[in-house]
Amino acid sequence: MNPVRSLARAKGASPEDLGGATSNGMKNSFEHHYHTFDSGLRLMTIPMPATRTATVLVLVGTGSKYETKQINGISHFLEHMMFKGTTKRPDKMDIARELDGIGAEYNAFTSKEYTGYYAKASAKKVDTTTDVVFDIFLNSKLKEEDIAVEKGVIVEEINMYRDLPQRYVGELFERLLYGDQPAGWDTAGEKEIVTALKRDDFVNYFNSHYIASNTIVAVAGNVDPDYIKNRTGELFKNIRHSEPFDKLKVVENQVSPQALVHYKKTDQTHFHLGFRSIDMFNEKRYAVSLLGHVLGGGMSSRLFDEIREKRGLAYYVGAGNQAYTDSGYFLIRAGVNNEKAKEAMEVSLQEVAKVKESGITAEELQRAKDSMEGSLALGLEHSDAVAEAYAEPILFKNEVLTPEAELDKIKKVTLEEVHGTAKEIFNENKLNLAVIGPFEDKDQFDKILKL
């Protein structure tokens, strides 16, 4: 799943693409400075002397998987509310005016397992960006009247997502995988639930989840690490404290292929076809990532060639792995001609079967590794991508894992490891299909779910 975003958010590369060490003598791109305050708040500062910008990111380890059914959607709703005013900036427009006034790019995002707030601006304005972003995180007012107004905004956002088959099919796929447990619920929530939320729900969630031990601050750009450390310590001196709030562990018990078909009169069928895979702590994730690149990582990938170039069945087609803390899945996604939907799915499964049976070639493996190296080079030019790439391993694994170190592990993956991982993951009993299109007969799709 892509995280629910309140605004359009531009990045140089996704966190999954920002893997590390490069060949040809490329050295570790940045020094980094890691510090844990007495409160438990963790700070990562990554100086980037060659850039003129600085990104201030606050990442908190909570999202929709930390919710109960009664408050499903509150993580995303709270993200909206954090921009409605603080004790220091009480008017709804104060935050926007201040950040717009320095030409900043700013945003927030909510996913299943984390929520983030960031601003990117001229490094000369780092005092402003830190003050505003930290103020949002610490001092949002969560006024009753603002919550009431924003309920209408959230409902329209949910309506918008469900009118976008290319996006909504992802929600359906996770619902198929995980069912009625937090991992299977929509990040944005259900309309009847979010409209029933009370101010006390927000305050309780805010105070119990947005706490020191669950928070990472990452600042990347042309900044002085000592200055950032002192400023962060001063501005966060009154951060909330509480015992960490745990989430329910994902339960998976699939024993046969399964499909979910959502009828919608569309001009194009959108489908997600995937297999239960591995979580983010499994070292096989590097081999899975390489499989994704070979099968659907670009215009030279196997699926793009077979489905789009040779057969003209789709405009977009791709593949990759989604890894959470306690589950994961390998996914093929495409938007295809309605009349050729089954053919596109069958071709996708044929390509999966080929990889499971024969593996990939040495040339394909090297090309995938080189692709990740290129993504690293592009991503590390952007302070926002750098901040997130360094923050996530600390949040989830409590370790400093540089992008360079991550890609160094990828570069060591062998053909045998890739093939072994493909045999393990591409299992018919782990196969799932979510479809949105003008179809009322589910049986026709059930019949093609085999390897």
pLDDT tens digits along 347-365:
999 999 999 999 999 999 9
Sign of the C-alpha dihedral computed for residues 172, 173, 176 and 182 taken in this order = negative
Q: Which of 272, 274, 276 is nearest to 251 (CA)?
A: 276
Cα of first residue to Cα of last residue in the chain, in angstroms, is 25
Sign of the C-alpha dihedral computed for residues 335, 341, 345 and 351 taken in this order = negative
Residue recorded with tokens 């997502």: 161
The answer on pLDDT for 301 being more than 50 is yes
pLDDT score, position 1: 38
pLDDT tens digits along 257-282:
999 999 999 999 999 999 999 999 99
Decide: helix, strand or coil at residue 118.
Answer: strand
The answer on pLDDT for 28 being more than 70 is no
Residue 28 corresponds to which amino acid? Answer: N
Q: How many CB atoms lie within 10 A of CB 79?
A: 22
- In angstroms, the CA 30 to CA 380 distance is 9
In whole angstroms, how far apart are CA 343 and each of 240, 256, 267, 358, 445? 54, 22, 16, 22, 11
Cβ atoms 432, 173 nearer than 8 A: yes
pLDDT score, position 29: 56
- In angstroms, the CA 133 to CA 355 distance is 46
Say which DSSP state 28 is in. P
Mean pLDDT of the region 154-163: 97
- In angstroms, the CA 97 to CA 349 distance is 51
Strand partners of residue 434? 260, 272
Mean pLDDT of the region 206-220: 97
- In angstroms, the CA 59 to CA 398 distance is 13
Residue 420 corresponds to which amino acid? Answer: G
Q: Which of 246, 209, 212, 379 is nearest to 325 (CA)?
A: 246
pLDDT tens digits along 83-140:
999 999 999 899 999 999 999 999 999 999 999 999 999 999 999 999 999 999 999 9
Say which DSSP state 406 is in. H
pLDDT score, position 243: 87
For the chain, the C-alpha Rg in angstroms (whole number) is 22
Sign of the C-alpha dihedral computed for residues 447, 177, 375 and 367 taken in this order = negative
Listed in order, strand segments (DSSP E) in 304-390 are 314-323, 328-337
Can you give 151-214 as a three-state secondary structure string?
A: HHHHHHHHHHHHCCHHHHHHHHHHHHHHCCCHHHCCCCCCHHHHCCCCHHHHHHHHHHHCCHHH
440 given a catalytic annotation: no
- In angstroms, the CA 448 to CA 349 distance is 9
pLDDT tens digits along 234-256:
999 999 998 888 999 999 999 99
Q: Which of 16, 79, 98, 150 is catalytic?
A: 79
Do 31-235 and 258-385+398-446 show the same overall fold?
yes
- In angstroms, the CA 36 to CA 3 distance is 27
- In angstroms, the CA 110 to CA 10 distance is 15
- In angstroms, the CA 52 to CA 102 distance is 13
- In angstroms, the CA 31 to CA 48 distance is 9
Mean pLDDT of the region 171-181: 98
- What percent of the chain is modeled with pLDDT above 90? 88
Cβ-Cβ contacts under 8 Å for 246 (sequence gap 6 or more):
none
pLDDT tens digits along 363-417:
999 999 999 889 888 888 999 999 999 999 999 999 999 888 988 999 999 999 9
- In angstroms, the CA 109 to CA 98 distance is 20
- pLDDT, mean over the chain: 92
Q: Please give the CATH number for the structural domain made up of 258-385+398-446.
A: 3.30.830.10
- Token pair belonging to 18: 């920002």
- In angstroms, the CA 308 to CA 316 distance is 8
Picking from 33-47, 116-130, 179-193, 377-391, which range would have the lowest pLDDT averaged per residue? 377-391
Residue recorded with tokens 């105070």: 207
CATH of 31-235, one of 3.30.830.10, 3.30.1490.20, 3.40.50.300, 1.10.3470.10: 3.30.830.10
Mean pLDDT of the region 423-439: 97
In whole angstroms, how far apart are CA 66 and each of 7, 139, 184, 401? 23, 22, 12, 25
Residue recorded with tokens 């049976």: 357
The answer on pLDDT for 321 being more than 60 is yes
Mean pLDDT of the region 63-81: 97
- In angstroms, the CA 225 to CA 228 distance is 5
- The domain locations on the chain are 31-235, 258-385+398-446
- In angstroms, the CA 54 to CA 432 distance is 42
Say which DSSP state 399 is in. S
Q: pTM of the entire structure?
A: 0.91
- In angstroms, the CA 119 to CA 107 distance is 7
